[in-house]
C-alpha cells in the first residue's frame, strides 16, 4: 500500500518584523508639494495685498449708501475681486499642502490634520461664492441703483443692500472656516513632531482670531469690532503658512 505524500501547506507571505538591527522607515514627505505651498503662500499674500490697494475703500463698508456710491464709479471692480479670489486660492493651496503633510504623524496630531484638509477645501469653495456675489452680483445691483430713475431708486437700493448682506453672511462663514482650519492645523503642529511647535501656537491664535471675527461679522457685518480680531489674525496666519511650509520642507530635506 503506497503512502500518499502529505499535501503542502498553502503558501503564505509574512511581513518582516523590524528587529534590533532593522529600523522602521519613516514616512516620506512630498518636498515638491511643500515647495508649491511655499511659493503659493508668498505669491498669494502679495496678490491679496495688491488687490487690497486697488479695492475702493474710502467709504465705510457698513454704510451701504456711501459705499455703493463709491463702488458705482469703479471700472475695475470685477477684475479686483477675481484677483482677490486668485490670491486666496493660492493661500488655500498652501493650507492643503500643509494639511496633506501633517497627517503622516501618528495619533491625534495626524487626525486633526485630516480635518484641516477638509475644512481647507471648504475655505476655497465658500470664498469663491463670496467673490461671485461681491464681484459680480453686487456690482450689477449697485450699477442698477446708480442709474435708476429717482422713483425706482429706493427699491433698487433695497435689492443691492440685500445682496450686500448675502456677501456679509458669506464673509462671516469664510472667516469661521478659515479660523477652524488654522486652529486644527496649529493643534496638529503643537501635538506633533514634524516642525517647530511655536508655529503651531501661532496658527492656533490666528485661528481663534478668525473665528471670533467671523462670529462678530455675522452680527455686525463689516464693522470695526470684527476688524479688531481679523486684522491681527491675518498677519499671524501669514507667519504660520510661510513658516510651517518652509519648516516642513527643511525637515523633509534632513
Within-domain flag for 231: yes
Task: Compute the chain's Rg from CA coordinates.
Answer: 25
In a domain, 230, yes or no: yes
Torsion of the alpha carbons at 154, 159, 161 and 162, rounded to the nearest 10: 140
Q: How far apart are CA 60 and CA 107, in angstroms?
A: 47
Alpha carbon distance, N-terminus to C-terminus of the chain? 69
Does a structural domain hold residue 1? Answer: no
Model pLDDT, residue 193: 85
- Measured in degrees and rounded to the nearest 5, phi and psi for residue 40 equal -65, -40
User: Does residue 227 sit within a domain?
Assistant: yes
Domain that residue 98 falls in: 31-249
Residue 87, domain member (yes or no)? yes
Is residue 14 domain-resident? no
The whole-number mean pLDDT for each consecutive block of 10 residues of the chain, a chain of 254 residues, reads 46 39 50 90 95 90 92 92 96 94 89 94 96 95 94 94 96 96 95 88 96 95 93 95 89 68
**How many structural domains does the chain have?**
1
Cell of 198: 511655536
Whole-number pLDDT of residue 192: 87
In a domain, 19, yes or no: no
Instruction: Report yes or no on 3 lying in a domain.
Output: no
Whether residue 68 contacts residue 157, with contact meaning beta carbons closer than 8 Å, is answered with yes
Amino acid at each position: 500500500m503506497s503512502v500518499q505524500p502529505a499535501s503542502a501547506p498553502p503558501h503564505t507571505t509574512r511581513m518582516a518584523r523590524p528587529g534590533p538591527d532593522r529600523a522602521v522607515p519613516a514616512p516620506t514627505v512630498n518636498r515638491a508639494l511643500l515647495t508649491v505651498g511655499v511659493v503659493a503662500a508668498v505669491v498669494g499674500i502679495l496678490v491679496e495685498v495688491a488687490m487690497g490697494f486697488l479695492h475702493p475703500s474710502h467709504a465705510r463698508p457698513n454704510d451701504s449708501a456711501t459705499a455703493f456710491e463709491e463702488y458705482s464709479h469703479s471700472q475695475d471692480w470685477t477684475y479686483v475681486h477675481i484677483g482677490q479670489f486668485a490670491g486666496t486660492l493660492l493661500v488655500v493651496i498652501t493650507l492643503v499642502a500643509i494639511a496633506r503633510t501633517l497627517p503622516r504623524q501618528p495619533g491625534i496630531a495626524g487626525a486633526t490634520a485630516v480635518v484641516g484638509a477638509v475644512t481647507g477645501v471648504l475655505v476655497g469653495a465658500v470664498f469663491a461664492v463670496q467673490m461671485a456675489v461681491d464681484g459680480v452680483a453686487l456690482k450689477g445691483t449697485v450699477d442698477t441703483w446708480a442709474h435708476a430713475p429717482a422713483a425706482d431708486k429706493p427699491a433698487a437700493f433695497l435689492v443691492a443692500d440685500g445682496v450686500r448682506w448675502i456677501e456679509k453672511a458669506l464673509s462671516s462663514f469664510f472667516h469661521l472656516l478659515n479660523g477652524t482650519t488654522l486652529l486644527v492645523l496649529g493643534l496638529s503642529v503643537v501635538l506633533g513632531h514634524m516642525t517647530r511647535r511655536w508655529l503651531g501656537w501661532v496658527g492656533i491664535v490666528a485661528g481663534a482670531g478668525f473665528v471670533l471675527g467671523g462670529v462678530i461679522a455675522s452680527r455686525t457685518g463689516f464693522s470695526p469690532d470684527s476688524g479688531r480680531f481679523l486684522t491681527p489674525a491675518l498677519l499671524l496666519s501669514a507667519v504660520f503658512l510661510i513658516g510651517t511650509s518652509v519648516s516642513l520642507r527643511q525637515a523633509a530635506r534632513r
